[in-house]
Amino acid sequence: MRPGFHWTTFNLTSRLPANWHRGIIETAAGADFREFPRTPILSREAAGVSYIRRGRVHADQVQEVLPWLYRLYRNDFLELARRAWAAEPVMPAQDDRYGIVLNVQRGTAMRFECHVDSNPLTGLLFCTDHLAGGELVFGHDQGGADVGAVERDCSVIQPIAGHLIFFDGRHHPHYARPLMSESDTRIVAVMNYYTRSCPESTRPPELNRHRFGDP
């Protein structure tokens, strides 16, 4: 039997710094909320979808306002990433522009783009709980090219504040469902890690042109 999609969860609810939650909630309130154009190469949205509305706290803001979170990304969380991925060395991103960011959904009209990852190991620290909606959904069909294909056969991960998960999202398309309540907010810290067999140098230059205007 092929292993299929799988992930590793660490429950950090009793180990994160005091007031971690409040700092993230306050920072996320000032996120960059707008229509984000679909990502080149990695998008698995239907052909007619040209943008997806959501919020992002960019990496420079995370480093400035939540320095403890940036340190965890490069230290304690890195140690856990190495436990989750014991087969080879794991490194954080050297380029701080995409190492760790916050993705934010507010109300029922936002979701996160259906896509595959370019980095071989992603860490997500869920920062909020939800009665319904906001689930992270991974399609089992590696060729799935839109949200409908992902939903037909999938693994569904319920966000739980303080849970840190690691997965290889390069092959299984995934997205975050919209929330079910207008008053709800979903926040997740997203971390890129690299491995010896898939180092940071493999990151497609198109992504940096798209996101940062690199030449």
Q: Which residues are at the interface with Fe ion (CB under 5 A)? A: 117, 169
Shortest distance (Å) from residue 210 CB to Fe ion: 15
Shortest distance (Å) from residue 115 CB to Fe ion: 6
Shortest distance (Å) from residue 213 CB to Fe ion: 22
Contact 198, 204 (CB under 8 A): no
Choice between 27 and 43, CB closer to Fe ion: 43
Contact 82, 195 (CB under 8 A): no
State the maximum Cα–Cα separation within the chain, in Å, rounded to a whole number. 46
Choice between 106 and 174, CB closer to Fe ion: 174
Shortest distance (Å) from residue 114 CB to Fe ion: 9
Residue from 56, 53, 44 nearest 146 by CA: 44
Residue tagged 């180092």 (tokens): 199
Burial of 53 (0-12, 13-18, 19+ CB in 10 A): middle
Choice between 158 and 181, CB closer to Fe ion: 158
Residue from 157, 154, 175 nearest 166 by CA: 157
Choice between 15 and 171, CB closer to Fe ion: 171
